[in-house]
Structure 1
Amino acid sequence: MRSMHFLSGLPRSGSTLLAALLRQNPRFHANMSGPLAGMVNAMLGEMSDRNEFSMYITNEQRRRVLSGLFENYYGAEFKAEVIFDTSRTWCSKLPMLCELFPRVKMIACVRHVSWVVDSIERLIRNNALQPSSIFNFQPGGTVYTRAEGVANGEGMVGFAYNALKEAFYGEHAQHLMLLQYETLVRDPAKAMAAVYEFIGEPLFQHDFDNVQFDAETFDQRAGTPGLHAIGKKVLARERTTVLPPDVFRRFENDAFWLNAQANVHGVRVV
């Protein structure tokens, strides 16, 4: 029986790069965010009490339906022994995933939030002629409204940040590891060794100078070319922020995972 693990965390924090590295291992399957998390949410809703026939649905049936969703989505055409599914939603679903997969491991990619917002804003500016799906293809706004939009509780960054805290401080935190973007790009060998140790798999020799991942078609459709682009070689690229100083400062103290005293469950932060 193959293993099921999950990649989650903050946007623009290395999950695509991590997936590209993991898939170098022929035993692994990993990819960018896909539809499975949305399908799970839809099924949970349809099996809730808003369904007039929900009295006929037991928790054991819910468990079988949801387990079957994962099993059938990753059907026979996926030959990998270890599956990694990616979604920022998964951090908010850790209790459910532990119900379905008692040995599950979740790797959440994190990055200083100021640089997450900076990365999103840089994408928007690099594609000035194409409104992005990130902002529902709306062409208006300023850096201030965009930062506010992604940072609110339902925004691209705010939701993921709150979900991450939910998992980090929750009762299933032992299934969670946080992988810092800074570690992944500056010391990828250390980062990958930590991932393999966490999931209990034998270490694989990755090629950090020849990383391949192609999501150009998806990114074009999203109106955001470069959204999932990664460099061929893993390295840290130093740059100055494109954000106004007050916007950058707004988020600079949000890296709660760096506060060892607040890590009450001893979550591993690499």
Structure 2
Amino acid sequence: MRPIHFISGLPRSGSTLLAALLRQNPRFHAHMSSPLAGMVDALLGEMSGRNELSVFISDEQRRRVLRGMFAGYYGPEFPAEVIFDTSRIWCSKLPVLSELFPDFKIIACVRQLSWIMDSAERAIRKNALRPSFMLNFQTGSTVYNRVEAMASGDGLVGYSYNGLKEAFYGEHAQHLMLLQYETLVRDPAGAMAAIYDFIGAPPFRHDFDNVQFDVGEYDERTGMPGLHAVGRKVAAPDRSTVLPLDIFRRFENEAFWLNAQANIRGVQVV
């Protein structure tokens, strides 16, 4: 297979912007989240002991089946030399990915959790007439209910956060690089240079004043128009939070990646 790398990390942290920038390089394919992570989970389940016929499946067959799924999904209609697949689930799948692609890299987008919650709440309020998939289309909640649901272990933010910590502290952390949203929007050239160095690719001159990416049809279908909209020019947003201050301050100390002493695996944080 062609080289394949992964974009993962926390929601509302710049993964769509990163994919839009990577796509400027004709050697690369990158996009918003793909269905592959869910397909991997489904296949692992079907090849597990819950299927009585799994006794006939060896681990090598499991590897070939899963690698074949990637090869089939990224077929001739994706002519790029290097593939970047995106999903927030990938951070929790490093042991699986290590079995399939020994040389893979994973770029995890991170951001201060307070601003992630703020960004999600803004998107929900912007589409007030359309209950959000981010909250399983529930209605009648307050901002406190919404934040609590997103922060829970199986919530939009909580699951990704726990998966990120698993990858950061796990034995496969050498495959991982953390890209801070703040770096990407304030120093995009430096951020992209670090990514190219991390994956061992030759440099490419990106245009940070003319970023193009359109998944408006997908956002419309999910009831969240504008959710993945990317500004034409990379720039840091200048705004105050829409969250009550007690919620905003609740997450101020959750950026574990900023604690150098806790970085026991020496993960690169950009």
TM-score above 0.5: yes
Identity of aligned residues (%): 73
CA distance in 2, matches of 1:138, 1:149: 11
- Note the alpha carbon deviations across 1:33-78, whole angstroms, 9 max, x for none: 0111110100000000000111111101100000001010001111
Query: What's the counterpart of residue 260 of structure 1?
Result: 260
CA distance in 1, matches of 2:155, 2:132: 14
| Pairing 1:113-128 to 2, within 5 Å after superposition | 113-128=113-128
Q: CA deviation at 1:137?
A: 1.7
CA distance in 1, matches of 2:251, 2:167: 20
Name the aligned partner's letter for residue 14 of structure 2. Answer: G
Query: What's the counterpart of residue 175 of structure 1?
Result: 175
Query: What's the counterpart of residue 100 of structure 1?
Result: 100
CA distance in 1, matches of 2:25, 2:140: 43
Query: What's the counterpart of residue 30 of structure 1?
Result: 30
RMSD of Structure 2 on Structure 1 (CA): 0.7
Q: CA deviation at 1:177?
A: 0.1
CA distance in 2, matches of 1:246, 1:106: 34
Tell me, what secondary structure is at the counterpart of 2:163? helix
Where does the alignment leave 5 or more consecutive residues of structure 2 unmatched?
A: none
Is 1:13 the equivalent of 2:38? no
Query: What's the counterpart of residue 142 of structure 2?
Result: 142
TM-score if structure 2 supplies the norm length? 0.99
Is 1:237 the equivalent of 2:237? yes
Contact 1:19/1:30 (<8 A) preserved: yes
CA distance in 2, matches of 1:45, 1:191: 37
CA distance in 2, matches of 1:238, 1:194: 25
Q: CA deviation at 1:237?
A: 1.0
Where does the alignment leave 5 or more consecutive residues of structure 1 unmatched?
A: none
Contact 1:107/1:177 (<8 A) preserved: yes
Tell me, what secondary structure is at the counterpart of 2:89? helix
Contact 1:137/1:223 (<8 A) preserved: no
Tell me, what secondary structure is at the counterpart of 1:243? coil
CA distance in 1, matches of 2:26, 2:165: 33
Name the aligned partner's letter for residue 10 of structure 1. Answer: L
Tell me, what secondary structure is at the counterpart of 1:88? coil
Shift >6 Å, 4+ stretches:
none
CA distance in 1, matches of 2:101, 2:140: 44
Query: What's the counterpart of residue 189 of structure 1?
Result: 189
CA distance in 1, matches of 2:190, 2:267: 17
Tell me, what secondary structure is at the counterpart of 1:109? strand
Q: CA deviation at 1:139?
A: 2.2
Name the aligned partner's letter for residue 139 of structure 1. Answer: T
CA distance in 1, matches of 2:138, 2:215: 23
Is 1:65 the equivalent of 2:32? no
Name the aligned partner's letter for residue 75 of structure 1. Answer: G
Name the aligned partner's letter for residue 194 of structure 1. Answer: A
